[in-house]
């Protein structure tokens, strides 16, 4: 199993989420819909917890000098997403970028792929001149 495939099959750990929150990522949790999950989670033998975590997302806002710097940042994120086959939900208004991460194939749980992509995005933000990271907000 490729490392990406195995990362998609493991839920993000509280420690990983805590580390991401110190670098500006916000954890958004919503209680799962009352209806049973569309695809019941795989058995524990495949590395799934007995019950999937509630619907979870990672969110972070970015602000750059101008559109050009924002677009350069988004370009690096896009290449990383393609390499991981794991893609953000994002928006851009001039110099601002909003990114949300979750794993659609795991009914909106946060998995190792969300962690991997968030870590890469954090590096690109730091290197790309994100003013929120610089300001420590």
Ligand X SMILES: C[C@H](O)[C@H](O)[C@H]1CNC2=NC(N)=NC(=O)C2=N1
Which lies closer to ligand X via its Cβ, residue 87 or residue 131?
87
Q: Which is nearer to ligand X, 2 or 51 (CB)?
A: 2
Considering beta carbons, is residue 65 or 104 the nearer one to ligand X? 104
Distance in Å, CB of 66 to ligand X, minimum: 28
Dist. CA 131–CA 94, nearest whole Å: 14
For ligand X, the closer of residues 102 and 128 by Cβ is: 102
Tell me how far, at minimum, the Cβ of 137 lies from ligand X, in Å: 25
Separation between Cα atoms, residue 83 and residue 65, nearest integer Å: 27
Alpha carbon distance 31, 56 (integer Å): 9
Distances (CA, A) of 66 to 28, 39, 80: 28, 42, 22
For residue 45, give the DSSP letter: G
Q: Quick check: 57 binds ligand X (CB under 6 A)?
A: no
Q: Does 59 bind ligand X (CB under 6 A)?
A: no
Binding to ligand X, residues 84-123 (CB under 6 A) = 85-87, 103-105
Contact 54, 29 (CB under 8 A): yes
Q: How far is the CB of 70 from ligand X (least distance, A)?
A: 21
Name the 3-class secondary structure at 89. strand
Q: Which residues bind ligand X (CB under 6 A)?
A: 85-87, 103-105
């Amino acid at each position: 199993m490729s490392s990406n495939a195995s990362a998609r099959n493991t839920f993000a750990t509280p420690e990983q989420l805590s580390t991401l929150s110190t670098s500006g990522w916000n954890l958004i949790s919503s209680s799962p819909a009352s209806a049973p999950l569309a695809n019941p989670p795989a058995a524990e033998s495949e590395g799934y917890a007995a019950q999937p975590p509630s619907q979870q997302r990672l969110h972070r806002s970015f602000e750059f000098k101008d559109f050009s710097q924002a677009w350069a940042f988004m370009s690096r994120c896009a290449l990383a997403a393609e390499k991981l086959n794991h893609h953000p939900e994002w928006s851009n208004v001039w110099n601002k970028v909003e990114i949300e991460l979750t794993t659609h194939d795991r009914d909106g749980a946060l998995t190792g792929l969300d962690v991997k992509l968030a870590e890469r995005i954090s590096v690109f933000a730091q290197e790309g001149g994100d003013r929120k990271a610089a300001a420590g907000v």
